[in-house]
Structure 1
């Protein structure tokens, strides 16, 4: 059963008249068509027993066909009202009234919800997110191959960043070098805003690169990833420039110990929250519990942050084919921070890391 058939079967089982799915990642997952329509409407309408249709800007209709969409496409111009065209397509399928429509509740704007309610006054909304999250949770072999290639490019990005370091360079200069070399390899888009942070700025978990110049004794944190064929990657590595003091070494070894211990727990059936607890206990025992402010990781795939959240409160269990990150960190003001992050896939024998850049402490320069 393909992905659309699984959604249609779920709609029938739960007595929903249809699903309206409009987010770029979910449309891509179900159709193979990846586009950012900006403010314009992109949407997929899936029915329990009728043929689905896709609505998108007319100038992108050929791209949807090229991506493999075999069903009706409603391509509209900027002067059209796409909701009138949508109503015609729904009427053509013999749907005159409905009481329940499945939508992406967390993502649908109120304006578009109103447009749906105009089509069917009095309808109720149900959430399709849980179903799509569960479907996207387990990656198939094709998805994993794309993620492996994206991870290799993330490794290359870190390698490029290390080679670009010299005393007096700025964070933005190194960032520009990383992204330039990745674009030469065909990468059009990064997974998120690349982080290159020096010294005390590495102590900001989500710091902003700027004109901070590299100095002897600085910690250097790289956090980056790419989008390749619709799938993302994510890696973090931390280095010391020219020298590392005892405190920096202690922080680094504590984070590495926490990450390795959490990785050892990565196998089918493990409670997700135990991955966080394992790393958090080690960091707390090392005296740095107050300096580990975020969860151990997040799901990754089409979105760089997707289901599930790898927090200590998550009672779900690991399943074969799940992909996620393991990324403990310690961030101490004035000293800096260390984060070590890898992408993981659960396998028959335990786990495999998709990112592979070495993670023992390296003193560069």
Structure 2
């Protein structure tokens, strides 16, 4: 559980940023934002003034919320008549426009007439992107647990399995290890069920998911991840899963083959490892995210693999790494157009992958922390393809 010292450090960083931007306070209603600062995910609204003590109002469950909350002033949600009295002298209210539904925005604007609501989405995400030593320990724990499940794969991956059979076996063990399964994503229209296990039968399928690999999924209503297709021999089997423990996420990908692998795919795998190695060395404070992506793309082009880099030809994702933490799509992003410098303590999943429709997908993914000496790997497992 979150402790009061960790919570206070986060709140202090936010308050400093609010004062720098002339904002009187921030009102959080999105559950994972409330959890980040308070330590409880109960149905709550959190007010953090630029100066002074925060206040958490809990709708349900108050009994659990007050027991979990690191906010000293935790109380039941007030009536609509009582609510405005807590905002005397407040003129500007920070709100997370990136995730707040219009209905909720209108509700709070009506409750607090005469105030200016301003967007603090970027401020919030930048603060959350830098992980404390406590958070890095949480993600390391995720890495150890997820790596343990990956190590079990050779014991249950058999010829004749369907993709969904493989996924179910993996997820069963991950759940038994204590995995929570909630893969939270901030971006609108994105969703993910723990991860995906796919082979050449569906690995090249395109889809809505903002990543290199989507998979066929089980239906048009769930067009992501494993399908009911049989896993063929002599093809790469991608297992790309998150490990979620205590709310925190780590993201890893490994490849398995029943039989042998096409030499072209082996060459692409070596290129992916080279890109990962380069990026890991460059994960230092001050490195520009876009420049790292462009160099990774250049390396793929130099290997003659540009058309297959980070997606099927024509549907390539324009990133090679993404922030992880309490959500799978945090800042920063190693992407075209993301002209932002890295900061120490940020955590990124680096995932150079190549998609060959009809042949399969190959690549690697590990999670790293930004440090003065380069990326510190948080996922402890050999990168090698496992041949069965």
2:35 maps to what in 1? 28
CA offsets 1:123-157 (integer angstroms, 9 cap, x no match): 32211122222211211111010000011122123
Contact (CA 8 Å) 1:157, 1:224: kept in 2 or not?
A: no
Contact (CA 8 Å) 1:268, 1:319: kept in 2 or not?
A: yes
Distance 1:254 1:49 in 2: 51
| Aligned counterpart in structure 2 of residue 88 of structure 1, from 82, 87, 90 | 82
| Aligned counterpart in structure 1 of residue 214 of structure 2, from 206, 231, 251 | 206
Contact (CA 8 Å) 2:66, 2:75: kept in 1 or not?
A: no
| Aligned counterpart in structure 2 of residue 337 of structure 1, from 337, 361, 367 | 361
Q: Which moved more, 1:338-347 or 1:125-134?
A: 125-134
Contact (CA 8 Å) 2:280, 2:374: kept in 1 or not?
A: no
2:237 maps to what in 1? 220
1:119 maps to what in 2? 111
Distance 1:156 1:186 in 2: 12
Give 1:190 shift.
4.8
Contact (CA 8 Å) 1:202, 1:338: kept in 2 or not?
A: no
Distance 2:363 2:293 in 1: 14
Matched, 1:246 2:270: no
Q: Which moved more, 1:147-156 or 1:48-57?
A: 48-57
Equivalent residues, number: 349
Distance 1:186 1:120 in 2: 42
Distance 2:84 2:12 in 1: 18
Over aligned residues, Cα RMSD in angstroms? 2.1
Structure 1: gaps of 5 or more residues: 77-81
2:386 maps to what in 1? 362
User: Using a 3 Å threshold, how does the CA distance of structure 1 residues 347 and 274 change in structure 2: closer, same or farther?
Assistant: same
User: Using a 3 Å threshold, how does the CA distance of structure 1 residues 178 and 121 change in structure 2: closer, same or farther?
Assistant: same
| Aligned counterpart in structure 1 of residue 343 of structure 2, from 319, 337, 346 | 319
Distance 2:65 2:101 in 1: 24
* Structure 1 segment 186-201 matched on structure 2, within 5 A: 186-191=178-183, 192-193=192-193, 194-201=195-202
Matched, 1:271 2:295: no
Matched, 1:234 2:242: no
Q: Which moved more, 1:213-222 or 1:244-253?
A: 244-253
Structure 2: gaps of 5 or more residues: 1-7, 184-191, 206-212, 216-224, 310-315
TM-score, L = length of structure 2: 0.83
Runs of 4+ in structure 1 over 4 Å off: none
CA offsets 1:68-120 (integer angstroms, 9 cap, x no match): 434333435xxxxx661xx51440x4616x54211001111111111122123
TM-score, L = length of structure 1: 0.88
